[in-house]
Amino acid sequence: MTDPTSKSLSQGIVPGSTFQFSFTKPEDLGATEYTLVTIEVDVSSSVDLFSDELLNCVKEAIRACKRSPRAENLLLRLVSFNTTIKEIHGFIPLSPINLDNYDPFTCTGMTALYDATYDSISASLAYAKTLTNMDFDVNAITFIITDGCENASCQSGPASIKGLVDKVKKSEELESMINVLIGINSGDASVFGMLSIFKDEAGLNQFVEVGDVSAGKLAKLAQFVSQSVSSQSQSLNSGGPSQLLKF
């Protein structure tokens, strides 16, 4: 996969935290407006059984985004998380992404769900500020895909995430932001119950229950992700976020 430390990308740190992210330099961007898309994927040990299917789902979502009429106005960041957060690549345009270069997920460890959520929102906000200062119009959408509940975060919690979401709403850097929590493959109804509570406490926009992993469900998830991205991108300069789509 594209080396996020390559010369073409710059490195950023979210102020007040140790969260890092990489991004395309604004001077290398040509459009007038961008939607920042972040996909954070749970690669804890429990995901191991369907990690290939999950990777294919992510690839399919990105493939569909590449076909979108708005493809040239999207910047995508892909992150995996378990006990720690690992950026697969930072915010980059879709055109140079070679989906065949994505390595299989290595699924081990626990689930730092809160840190992953905080990372996705804060990195988007920080990069949006950089872009806005360079006259770009920006909005964002994040997807946090998980099969289980939080059990490993050390830097954030629902309250701090909610504070960040509220900060985004007041900021001028991001025209709007949609945060979608996606629960997959939990056979335990209480897990989905806790994820739903997390969504409310953290102020996220939407919780999507995918249910048991199947080829059809993951294909539907890929379509949901790409259509949500397309919808949010088309809402740029409307003053607000797009309508939330139903899964």
Partner 1 sequence: MIKLDSFYTIGKTHQVCEDYVLHKEGPVPHIVLGDGCSSSPNTDVGVRIWSHIAHDMIKNTMTNGLQCFVPEGVVLWMSKVAKQLIPVIGLSSQNLDSTIVILCQDLNSSTVRLLMLGDGIIITKSKDKLPHIVQISYMNEMPYYLSYIMDESRNEAYIKRAKELEHKGNTKIIHTLSETSKVPYYDLTSIEYDINDYEYIIISSDGLDSFYNRNTGEKVPIEMTATLLDQFKSFNGEFLKRRIKRMLKEYEKQGIYHYDDLSLGIMYNECPREVICIKAEKTR
> Given the rule CB under 8 A, which residues bind partner 1?
26-32, 133-137
Q: Tell me how far, at minimum, the Cβ of 124 lies from partner 1, in Å.
A: 20
Chain-centre distance of CA 157, in angstroms? Answer: 17
Nearer to partner 1, 25 or 86 (CB): 25
Q: How far is the CB of 8 from partner 1 (least distance, A)?
A: 11
Residue 135 C-beta: closest distance to partner 1, Å: 4
CB of 94 to partner 1, least distance (A): 16
Shortest separation between residue 74's beta carbon and partner 1, angstroms? 15
Nearer to partner 1, 1 or 31 (CB): 31
Q: Which residue lies nearer to partner 1 by CB, 134 or 159? A: 134
